[in-house]
Amino acid sequence: MTQKILIHSLGYYMPVKIYAQYFNHDTVVIEAQENYQKRSFRNKSAILSPTGQQLLSIPLSKGKHNNAPVKSIDIANETDWRRQHQKAIMNNYKASPFLSYYPELTSILDDKYQKLFDLNLKIHNLILRILDLSSRVYTLSSTYHPNNRYNLGIKDSAYTGNTPYPQVFDSKLGFTDGLSILDLIFHLGPESSLYLKRLALTSDKN
Protein backbone atom coordinates (compact mmCIF):
# COMPACT_ATOMS: atom_id res chain seq x y z
CA MET A 1 0.00 0.00 0.00
CA THR A 2 1.32 3.45 -0.95
CA GLN A 3 2.01 5.68 2.02
CA LYS A 4 0.12 8.95 2.16
CA ILE A 5 2.49 11.86 2.75
CA LEU A 6 1.32 15.18 4.13
CA ILE A 7 3.52 18.17 3.27
CA HIS A 8 2.48 21.48 4.77
CA SER A 9 3.88 24.91 5.46
CA LEU A 10 4.14 26.12 9.04
CA GLY A 11 1.85 28.88 10.22
CA TYR A 12 0.67 30.79 13.27
CA TYR A 13 -2.09 28.90 15.15
CA MET A 14 -2.87 27.10 11.90
CA PRO A 15 -6.32 26.37 10.46
CA VAL A 16 -8.42 23.42 11.64
CA LYS A 17 -8.11 21.40 8.46
CA ILE A 18 -4.31 21.16 8.65
CA TYR A 19 -4.66 19.19 11.90
CA ALA A 20 -7.38 16.97 10.46
CA GLN A 21 -4.89 15.93 7.79
CA TYR A 22 -2.62 14.49 10.47
CA PHE A 23 -5.21 11.77 11.00
CA ASN A 24 -5.32 10.51 7.41
CA HIS A 25 -1.66 10.63 6.39
CA ASP A 26 1.08 8.17 7.25
CA THR A 27 4.03 10.55 7.02
CA VAL A 28 4.17 14.28 7.79
CA VAL A 29 6.76 16.73 6.44
CA ILE A 30 6.82 20.37 7.49
CA GLU A 31 8.19 22.57 4.73
CA ALA A 32 11.23 24.32 6.19
CA GLN A 33 13.06 25.21 2.97
CA GLU A 34 10.43 27.30 1.22
CA ASN A 35 10.43 31.06 0.81
CA TYR A 36 8.13 33.30 2.80
CA GLN A 37 4.93 34.36 1.03
CA LYS A 38 2.85 37.40 1.80
CA ARG A 39 -0.92 37.12 2.28
CA SER A 40 -0.63 33.77 3.99
CA PHE A 41 -1.23 32.24 7.41
CA ARG A 42 2.52 32.01 8.06
CA ASN A 43 2.28 35.09 10.27
CA LYS A 44 -1.51 35.33 10.53
CA SER A 45 -4.27 33.46 12.30
CA ALA A 46 -8.05 33.69 11.92
CA ILE A 47 -10.08 33.73 15.13
CA LEU A 48 -13.77 34.31 15.81
CA SER A 49 -15.13 37.69 16.91
CA PRO A 50 -18.69 39.01 17.41
CA THR A 51 -18.59 40.38 13.85
CA GLY A 52 -17.07 37.30 12.21
CA GLN A 53 -13.54 36.33 11.30
CA GLN A 54 -10.76 38.44 12.83
CA LEU A 55 -7.19 38.17 11.59
CA LEU A 56 -4.33 38.32 14.06
CA SER A 57 -1.10 39.32 12.34
CA ILE A 58 2.44 39.06 13.71
CA PRO A 59 4.42 42.16 12.69
CA LEU A 60 7.67 41.43 10.91
CA SER A 61 10.92 43.32 11.06
CA LYS A 62 11.55 45.89 8.36
CA GLY A 63 12.92 44.67 5.08
CA LYS A 64 11.92 42.50 2.14
CA HIS A 65 10.23 39.34 3.35
CA ASN A 66 8.53 37.98 0.27
CA ASN A 67 10.64 35.19 -1.26
CA ALA A 68 13.14 35.30 1.61
CA PRO A 69 13.91 31.91 3.25
CA VAL A 70 11.07 31.21 5.67
CA LYS A 71 13.43 30.34 8.54
CA SER A 72 15.14 33.74 8.24
CA ILE A 73 12.04 35.87 8.90
CA ASP A 74 12.36 38.02 12.03
CA ILE A 75 9.51 39.16 14.28
CA ALA A 76 9.23 42.86 15.14
CA ASN A 77 9.18 42.41 18.90
CA GLU A 78 9.53 46.12 19.61
CA THR A 79 5.74 46.35 19.24
CA ASP A 80 3.27 45.03 21.84
CA TRP A 81 1.66 42.57 19.43
CA ARG A 82 1.90 39.60 21.81
CA ARG A 83 -0.22 41.27 24.50
CA GLN A 84 -2.68 42.49 21.86
CA HIS A 85 -3.13 38.97 20.48
CA GLN A 86 -3.56 37.50 23.96
CA LYS A 87 -6.20 40.11 24.77
CA ALA A 88 -8.08 39.51 21.51
CA ILE A 89 -8.14 35.76 22.08
CA MET A 90 -9.25 36.09 25.71
CA ASN A 91 -11.97 38.64 24.94
CA ASN A 92 -13.42 36.83 21.95
CA TYR A 93 -13.46 33.38 23.57
CA LYS A 94 -14.34 34.31 27.17
CA ALA A 95 -17.77 32.71 26.71
CA SER A 96 -16.41 29.53 25.13
CA PRO A 97 -16.59 26.41 27.32
CA PHE A 98 -12.91 25.43 27.24
CA LEU A 99 -10.86 28.64 27.16
CA SER A 100 -9.87 28.31 30.82
CA TYR A 101 -8.77 24.68 30.32
CA TYR A 102 -5.90 25.63 28.02
CA PRO A 103 -4.12 28.73 29.41
CA GLU A 104 -0.88 27.56 27.80
CA LEU A 105 -2.31 28.36 24.37
CA THR A 106 -2.05 32.07 25.14
CA SER A 107 0.72 32.11 27.75
CA ILE A 108 3.08 30.63 25.15
CA LEU A 109 3.20 34.15 23.69
CA ASP A 110 4.84 35.44 26.87
CA ASP A 111 8.19 34.24 25.55
CA LYS A 112 9.88 36.41 22.96
CA TYR A 113 10.96 34.59 19.84
CA GLN A 114 13.11 36.33 17.26
CA LYS A 115 12.32 34.01 14.38
CA LEU A 116 8.76 33.51 13.13
CA PHE A 117 9.46 29.90 12.20
CA ASP A 118 10.66 29.07 15.73
CA LEU A 119 7.55 30.56 17.36
CA ASN A 120 5.23 28.77 14.94
CA LEU A 121 6.98 25.46 15.56
CA LYS A 122 6.71 25.88 19.34
CA ILE A 123 2.98 26.60 19.07
CA HIS A 124 2.51 23.70 16.67
CA ASN A 125 4.16 21.23 19.04
CA LEU A 126 1.94 22.43 21.89
CA ILE A 127 -1.19 21.97 19.79
CA LEU A 128 -0.11 18.48 18.74
CA ARG A 129 0.20 17.58 22.43
CA ILE A 130 -3.25 18.99 23.25
CA LEU A 131 -4.76 17.03 20.35
CA ASP A 132 -3.04 13.79 21.43
CA LEU A 133 -0.95 13.91 18.28
CA SER A 134 2.44 14.36 19.94
CA SER A 135 3.30 10.74 19.16
CA ARG A 136 3.00 11.54 15.46
CA VAL A 137 6.57 12.10 14.32
CA TYR A 138 7.07 14.74 11.67
CA THR A 139 10.22 15.83 9.91
CA LEU A 140 11.39 19.23 8.76
CA SER A 141 12.17 19.20 5.07
CA SER A 142 15.80 19.34 4.03
CA THR A 143 14.91 20.29 0.45
CA TYR A 144 12.09 22.37 -1.03
CA HIS A 145 8.89 20.48 -1.93
CA PRO A 146 7.10 22.18 -4.85
CA ASN A 147 4.14 19.78 -4.47
CA ASN A 148 3.12 21.23 -1.10
CA ARG A 149 -0.68 21.39 -1.24
CA TYR A 150 -1.05 23.16 2.10
CA ASN A 151 0.97 26.33 1.57
CA LEU A 152 -1.26 28.46 3.83
CA GLY A 153 -2.45 31.03 1.31
CA ILE A 154 -5.21 33.21 2.78
CA LYS A 155 -7.57 32.32 -0.08
CA ASP A 156 -6.77 28.60 -0.23
CA SER A 157 -9.99 26.58 -0.36
CA ALA A 158 -8.23 23.79 1.55
CA TYR A 159 -9.09 25.55 4.80
CA THR A 160 -12.84 25.87 4.28
CA GLY A 161 -15.54 23.23 4.14
CA ASN A 162 -15.26 22.20 7.78
CA THR A 163 -18.20 20.41 9.39
CA PRO A 164 -20.08 22.89 11.63
CA TYR A 165 -19.62 22.68 15.40
CA PRO A 166 -21.07 24.93 18.15
CA GLN A 167 -19.50 28.39 18.36
CA VAL A 168 -20.11 31.21 20.83
CA PHE A 169 -21.58 33.57 18.25
CA ASP A 170 -23.41 31.05 16.06
CA SER A 171 -26.88 32.30 17.07
CA LYS A 172 -25.92 35.64 15.50
CA LEU A 173 -23.47 34.65 12.77
CA GLY A 174 -24.18 31.02 12.00
CA PHE A 175 -21.14 28.79 11.63
CA THR A 176 -17.92 30.66 10.79
CA ASP A 177 -15.59 28.51 8.72
CA GLY A 178 -11.86 28.61 7.99
CA LEU A 179 -10.70 29.51 11.51
CA SER A 180 -7.64 28.67 13.58
CA ILE A 181 -7.38 25.43 15.52
CA LEU A 182 -7.81 27.65 18.61
CA ASP A 183 -11.47 28.04 17.73
CA LEU A 184 -12.05 24.30 17.66
CA ILE A 185 -10.16 23.61 20.90
CA PHE A 186 -11.88 26.39 22.86
CA HIS A 187 -15.30 25.15 21.74
CA LEU A 188 -14.88 21.36 21.81
CA GLY A 189 -12.02 20.83 24.26
CA PRO A 190 -11.09 17.14 24.59
CA GLU A 191 -13.58 16.25 21.83
CA SER A 192 -11.50 18.20 19.29
CA SER A 193 -9.51 15.10 18.30
CA LEU A 194 -12.70 13.13 17.63
CA TYR A 195 -14.01 15.95 15.47
CA LEU A 196 -10.74 16.07 13.52
CA LYS A 197 -10.80 12.30 12.95
CA ARG A 198 -14.32 12.58 11.52
CA LEU A 199 -13.32 15.53 9.38
CA ALA A 200 -10.33 13.57 8.11
CA LEU A 201 -12.61 10.73 7.01
CA THR A 202 -14.86 13.20 5.19
CA SER A 203 -11.90 14.86 3.50
CA ASP A 204 -10.55 11.47 2.48
CA LYS A 205 -13.74 10.70 0.57
CA ASN A 206 -13.73 14.01 -1.33
Q: Residue type at 168? A: V
pLDDT at 205 over 60: no
Query: Domain residue spans in the chain?
Result: 5-198
When pLDDT is cut at 50, 70 and 90, the band that residue 204 belongs to is low
Average pLDDT, the chain: 94
* Cβ neighbours for 203, distance < 8 A, ≥ 6 positions apart: 17, 20, 21, 24
Cβ burial 64-82 (10 Å sphere, 16+ → b, else e) = ebeeeebbebebeeeeebb
Cβ burial 33-42 (10 Å sphere, 16+ → b, else e) = ebebbeebbb
Q: What is the pLDDT of residues 102-160, one digit of tens each?
A: 999 999 999 999 999 999 999 999 999 999 998 888 999 999 999 898 999 988 888 89
pTM: 0.95
Q: What secondary structure letter does DSSP report for 190?
A: G
- The per-residue pLDDT for 1 is 59
